[in-house]
Amino acid sequence: MRRALLFSVSFSLLAVLAWWVLTPSPRALHFAQAHELYGFVDTRTTTGLDTVEPVLTLLTQLAPATQRVTAKQQVKSPAPAREIRVGIGFKPPAWAWLDGPATPAETVIQVIPSLSLQQLAALPHGYLLLRSESPAIVAADPRLRRWLGVAMSETLSQAKALTIAVGEESTPARAQIGLCLEFADAETAVAAIKRIAAPTTNNVLTFKVSPQAEQVAKTHKLVVVRFEVDALYLRLAAQPR
């Protein structure tokens, strides 16, 4: 039975002036093939965090069925690498969990831009970053639609790029999740805010909009969503069904 959850979600101003002063350089990740959703786990920040294992276990639900058991074993016993590259394919389905240096076979380069890295840096104890430049394909996946709800999934399908960043607030333990949606024009970004903020009865997430959200959309063609999920709920959701 699906549980309707109410998350306190706020659209946050990007703190543009503060972040742009210390803009991180884009990061190139090497894979054997291109993925619609790709990024990394920063293992330097995961020690002692309560949400890491359940969040990564939930992520393995996006792996192909034939690789899911292996994927769950990988996330439960990560290698002591500084960074683990993660790739998730939807067309065709694929899973990559790469904890060592790039090999000669990994010739595909997918780049994490500065904007995405800023999303991770803005979260407390940020440890997971995922990027997609094919958000319509990602949004069409029924598993993600079940997590995000109808309005957010439809909004993702209109974005030109998506960043998902995850960190942890420790008192009490809860995951801090940020979604950054990039749009081709300001009008589409503003319409996206109105769509996902509209009250509905069939959405898992209920959104609250800050007064700055529309100005951010007009100026930067971005919609930034932040929400929190309690560690206990994540552990329950990650349990085998």
Mean pLDDT by 10 residues, the chain (241 residues): 40 40 82 97 91 95 94 84 92 93 94 95 95 95 85 90 94 90 95 80 61 86 89 88 65
pLDDT reported for residue 16: 40
The C-alpha torsion from 196 through 200 and 204 to 210, rounded to 10°, is: 40
What gap in Å lies between CA 235 and CA 167, rounded to an integer? Answer: 16
pLDDT reported for residue 11: 39
pLDDT reported for residue 199: 67
Q: Is 59 exposed, middle or buried (0-12, 13-18, 19+ CB in 10 A)?
A: buried
Strand order in the sheet with 222-230: 10-11, 222-230, 173-182, 161-170, 128-132, 37-42, 83-90, 93-98
Q: Is 182 left (phi over 0), alpha (psi -120 to 50) or beta?
A: beta
pLDDT reported for residue 15: 39
CA count, 13 A, side-chain hemisphere, 194: 8
pLDDT reported for residue 20: 45
pTM (2 d.p.): 0.87
Tokens 């389905």 -> residue: 93
Q: How far is CA 88 from the centre of its chain?
A: 12
